[in-house]
Structures are given as C-alpha cells and as structure tokens.
Amino acid sequence: MSVVANKRRDYLYVSLLVITDQIIKLYIYNNSMDSKFGIIEGYVEFYPMFNRDYSWINSLFQLGIGLLPHIIFSAIVSIGLILVYDFVKTNKQLSNPLNLTFIIIISASICSLIDKIFWGGSLDYIYLVGFFIFDLKDVYVSVFEILLIIYTIKNYKRIKSMDEKKLFKEYWSFVKKKYLRIGK
C-alpha cells in the first residue's frame, strides 16, 4: 500500500475514533444527562457532567485559564501532531505500533478541540469513584501514554542514538517545503 493510501486509511481511523467519541456524547447529552448508576459498584459509575475547566491541569490547579487560550492551544497541538505524523510517515519507517500511537493521540487532540469549540468544555461521564470523571477521549490519551512508554522501552537504544538537531532540521525543512511552500 502506498504512503498516500496508508495516510488516508489512518485518517479514516482517526475519523472513526473521533466520531465514536462524539456520538457517545451526543447520545448522553440528549438522553442520559440525569442518569447515574454503578457500572462496577463502588468503583466505576456512569456520572455525566460537563467539565468547564477545559483541561485536567486547569481543573487540578484551579488556574482559571479561559476557553479561548485552551482552544488555541488545542488547535496548535492538533496541527503539530498532524505535521509530525506526516513527516514521520513520509520520511521515516513507521512501525505499526508507532502508527497506532499517532492515530490515537491525533484522535484525542481533535476530540479535545471539538469539545472546547462545540461543547464549551468536555462532557465527561465515567466516574472512577474517589478519583475523577473522564470520557472516551481521556481513554485515548491513556492508551497513547501506555503505547508510547512501551515503544520507548523497546526502542530505547535507537532513540538514544538519534541526532535530535539533525532530525529537527529535517522536520523543519519538510514543513517549510510542504506546508509553508518555502524552498521549493
């Protein structure tokens, strides 16, 4: 399969993950906002609520950072992840586990951006009793973190031997040529 076909397939997967997250939220918003029940009694509950703090860090430390800075940050992160993914997919060999890792984190970042723009926050609905309430997007982030840790452990020697300056120069050259149309 060509690189372009692979990218299209991967963006289809991203779309499916994002759509799944949003369909669940739409269903809950329209049908179950007042419902609360145990999933695993005493441990995990269905408990829908809006998180209007916009991010975990903002909520945890009560920083009071508003919606617009969160939208801008989420947009920058999403664009940055897509650019890095495109660079790696185009110029480097991308293993299936690392490709899956990119698909998951790009999906999570797009879900986060959609939450902020269209929901004015995040509709969280899974309560880990005594800890926090989260949604499917947060599960994506956790899976990403786990996959990234496993990938890093398995590829530690190769990662350690990388020349970061050279890699960054290659990346910046790629972005300038492909997206900024500089140096063509």
Say what the pLDDT of residue 27 is.
98
Q: What's residue 3's pLDDT?
A: 67
Tokens of 15: 């779309």
Q: Where are the domains of the chain?
A: 3-178
Angle of CA points 119, 63, 129, to nearest 5°: 65
How does pLDDT run along the chain (184 residues), one tens digit per residue?
Answer: 666 778 899 999 999 999 999 999 999 999 999 999 999 999 999 999 999 888 878 887 888 889 999 999 999 999 999 999 999 988 877 888 899 999 999 999 999 999 999 999 999 999 999 999 999 999 999 999 999 999 999 989 988 998 999 999 999 999 999 998 886 5
pLDDT at 184: 57
Task: Say what the pLDDT of residue 80 is.
Answer: 95
Residues shown for the chain: 184
Cβ-count burial 156-182 (b if 16+ within 10 Å, e if not): eeeeeeeeeeeeeeeeeebbeeeeeee
> What is the rounded (10 degree) CA torsion for 13, 14, 17, 23?
-110
Whether pTM exceeds 0.85: yes
76's CB contacts (< 8 A; 6+ apart) are none
